[in-house]
Structure 1
Amino acid sequence: MSENCNSRHLSWLMKSCLPNPSDAKSLVPIHHPSTATPPIYSLPDDLLLECLSRIPSYSIPSLSAVCRRWSRLLLSPYFLILRRRLGLLRHSLYAISAVDSGLFAAVLQSQSDEIVSWKVSFAVSGSFDGNHGNLSHARAAAIGPRVYIVSRNAVLRYDSWLGTLTLRSPMIFPRKKFAIAAISGKIYVAGGGGGGLEVAAAVEEYDPEKNRWEVVTQAARKRYGCIGAAVDGVFYVIGGLKIGNETSRAGAHVYASSMDLFDVESRQWLRSRSVPGGGCVVAACAAVGHVYVLSSHAVELSFWRFDGRRNGGGFGEWSRLKSPPLPAQVRLDGTVRFSCVGVEDKVAVVQVVGCIDDLLRRSGRSERGLRESLVLLYDTVDGEWRRAADLPEMITRAACACVEW
């Protein structure tokens, strides 16, 4: 075939493509079936959600900026349900620390079942100016990819997908050192103190969709410094000190090692339970249908498992497990506090030192290099502990939660 264009042949081709004025049929327009694909924004919400739910996690922040409709759909609970159904969600341990201008969020990353490192991000909101109460002792509860940091006078929502920080409605009754847990897309708080006996008695429920708190019942017992966990629709209010007119040592001991069980659906309190070994519960969490409890006995820690599966036949059974292997320089005193978080089939115990200098001074040691925070992981399958990467230095007095994202 010739590479040069022949003008004679080209003119013939052009003429053959022009309609013949004497031929009426050639003047009739030819209608071809439309092959244009309708734009994605014309799809109804349910079909659009089906499409958006299949995108990789790293693309979600970009999609939220497309339009308000897409942003609204990405924030809907149906988006999370679809991604969970497609197996596109993973569970990760998040540690959050607030500062005057925002908060640091650190996620524990793993690869091939090996802990690699912490990834830290910083989130700030225009509505957050550092004057929303003391967040250093805030509690955290996660619903899907969003962590709710609840303090005495403020509630902040951190979105792990978008990296945004939003101010939400505070609790009805300001309180501190309370129990918190997330159940069926809502958050429950109980116990704590900060304004009177009626504060510690009220159990509040938070609806993220309505951004509203309401009192759902009165607590079976008033507790201060208690811990929350949730298994199979039951809100466990664990440990703490007794609040009330009776301050006997025996009564305080009973509270410190006991659990009150609130059935969220029936709005009924179940029979209370106690940790067999006694002691003072310092941390607790839920994982794979059980409640895991870390109890202090002044000079040592004990670790327990409570079967919370109400339909499994073993509900209410206790088992003692191997205690966490804490470093020798860590003493069980007021400078140290613990946090337990269930992450799939693992239990993470985060140890936070309130003041490292005080700890070294009290222990009579002069070592340097002791980290302010360490993380231990308990494998519920093989029953063994292993040490994970220490918390980053900027994460202090961390509020921890398991985030599904």
Structure 2
Amino acid sequence: MSESCNSRHFSWLMKSCFPNPNHKSLIITPQQLNPTLSSLPDDLLLECLSRVPSSSLPSLSLVCRRWFYLILSPSFLLLRHQLCLLHPSLFAFSATDSGVFAATLSFSLPNHCHAAAWDLSLCLPMNTASLQSISRLVSVGPRIYMIGRDSMFRYNTWTQHVNAKSPMLFSRKKFAAAVVSNKIYVAGGSRAASAVEEYDPESDTWRVVTYSQRRRYGCVGAAVDGVFYVIGGLKIGGACVDGVGRIEAHVYASSMDLYDVESRVWLRSRAVPGGGCVVAACAVAGYVYVLTSHAVELSFWRFDARRKSGGGEGFGEWCRMKSPPMPTQIRLDGTVRFCCVGVGDNKVIFVQVAGCIDDLLRRSGRSQRGFKDGLVLVYDSAGGEWSRAPDLPEVIRRAACVSVEC
């Protein structure tokens, strides 16, 4: 045997274990040693992007088309949720001639009831000719849908992009709206108020799914356990004079109509205790909260809507809650508007009082004593107590509000 090692003494199999330095495919470039984020597969790239602070998401969406669509994907939302990076925020929108102003009140901790102040850093320069009044706001994931009488816009809270979407099939005003299984349902508020419409965000299409039991105007919507609640408003009828339709309002509808979306059937309607005019409602943690006005006072009620999560026990029971501490200067008439919004699963209810309160006080000749348009009250359902949150910015008037986890 030779004392020196010679390649011809190796078998072909052993030679194959040693790389050929002249083979081009084995030449490693610096780019291969230091790959960029864009070279990662989608699942790994999502893991990286999902850990970015929320304040940087608008910038990330501008990097490339691929990153833009990854941030919009359901997987991105799921990862953010698993990493506990989603925090509840309250958005308030107000339509003006120059555009739509938005203010945000964020909460970094689930059990923290208040934030320092509203963040007014957004003005959407959209055409507001048909969106002078934002009738209703609903959220599907991080996206907010601004539904007007004859138009609809979608605002993405992560990318800060605004897109026009298909309007409702019927022109509506002061209607009920809620989200069930990532689809939007609307009812009431038009001459064809008996038609209940469903909007699919994926296909950007509306369709009529059923017809309501009562025709309502000025009603409010909520959703719990697959049921769409159409609450309050005025019972309306129609008349035809010389071929022209006309809406006739009758009496306050102190009741709720319940539509089971999955079964496509109407459940038994429920009366709101105490009567009065329903001025606001929302759903939180399996309950529907209803705020009613009795001309001289407000009453606050909770309806147990847990059909599935609560096993059906207690479903349909009403409980009177502590009424909101309204300032004595404010009379409960048509000048003041209310907006009730549920925030996440931390059982906190936000009631935003809006309207021309300054004008009301001036007409009555009473002192304002520090209260102005945009008073915000917070109800903690766990502790059963009300508290005051920061007032809305002055530019936000007669606002519509919605809660989003972002």
Scaled by the length of structure 1, what TM-score is found?
Answer: 0.85
Matches within 5 A, 1:3-402: 29=21, 36=33, 38-110=35-107, 113=112, 114-125=114-125, 128-131=126-129, 133-193=130-190, 196=191, 199-245=192-238, 252-253=251-252, 255=253, 257-311=254-308, 312=310, 313-344=313-344, 345-354=347-356, 356-357=358-359, 359-367=360-368, 369-402=370-403
Task: Point out where structure 2 has 5 or more consecutive residues left out of the alignment.
Answer: 1-19, 240-246
Measured in 1, the distance between the counterparts of 2:238 and 2:96 equals: 37
* 1:167, distance to aligned residue in structure 2 (A): 1.6
- Render the CA deviation track for 1:349-368: whole Å, top value 9, x for unaligned: 100123521x1144331436
From the superposition, tell whether residues 36 and 240 of structure 1 become closer, same or farther in structure 2 (CA, over 3 Å).
same
Query: Given that residues 110 and 116 in structure 1 are in contact (C-alpha distance below 8 angstroms), is that contact kept between their aligned partners in structure 2?
Result: no
- Render the CA deviation track for 1:82-102: whole Å, top value 9, x for unaligned: 222332211111111122232
Identity percentage over the alignment? 60
* 1:323, distance to aligned residue in structure 2 (A): 0.2
Task: Point out where structure 1 has 5 or more consecutive residues left out of the alignment.
Answer: 1-27
* 1:304, distance to aligned residue in structure 2 (A): 0.2
Measured in 1, the distance between the counterparts of 2:128 and 2:330 equals: 32
Query: Given that residues 143 and 404 in structure 1 are in contact (C-alpha distance below 8 angstroms), is that contact kept between their aligned partners in structure 2?
Result: no
Query: Given that residues 228 and 235 in structure 1 are in contact (C-alpha distance below 8 angstroms), is that contact kept between their aligned partners in structure 2?
Result: yes
Scaled by the length of structure 2, what TM-score is found?
Answer: 0.84
Query: Given that residues 124 and 164 in structure 1 are in contact (C-alpha distance below 8 angstroms), is that contact kept between their aligned partners in structure 2?
Result: no
Name the structure 1 match of 2:10.
none
Query: Matched residue of 2:275: which SS?
Result: coil
From the superposition, tell whether residues 181 and 135 of structure 1 become closer, same or farther in structure 2 (CA, over 3 Å).
farther
Query: Given that residues 228 and 284 in structure 1 are in contact (C-alpha distance below 8 angstroms), is that contact kept between their aligned partners in structure 2?
Result: yes
* 1:33, distance to aligned residue in structure 2 (A): 8.9
- Render the CA deviation track for 1:18-63: whole Å, top value 9, x for unaligned: xxxxxxxxxx738879573554434443443333223221221121
Measured in 1, the distance between the counterparts of 2:200 and 2:123 equals: 23
Runs of 4+ in 1 over 6 A off after TM superposition: 30-33, 246-249
* 1:374, distance to aligned residue in structure 2 (A): 0.4
- Render the CA deviation track for 1:218-260: whole Å, top value 9, x for unaligned: 11211100000111111110000112159999x724x2x1001
Measured in 2, the distance between the counterparts of 1:46 and 1:265 equals: 33
CA RMSD of aligned residues (A): 2.5
Query: Given that residues 237 and 248 in structure 2 are in contact (C-alpha distance below 8 angstroms), is that contact kept between their aligned partners in structure 1?
Result: no
From the superposition, tell whether residues 74 and 43 of structure 1 become closer, same or farther in structure 2 (CA, over 3 Å).
same
The more displaced of 101-110 and 316-325 is 101-110
Measured in 1, the distance between the counterparts of 2:41 and 2:169 equals: 38
Query: Matched residue of 2:33: which SS?
Result: coil
* 1:123, distance to aligned residue in structure 2 (A): 3.1
From the superposition, tell whether residues 167 and 36 of structure 1 become closer, same or farther in structure 2 (CA, over 3 Å).
same
Query: Matched residue of 1:117: which SS?
Result: coil
Amino acid at match of 1:403: V
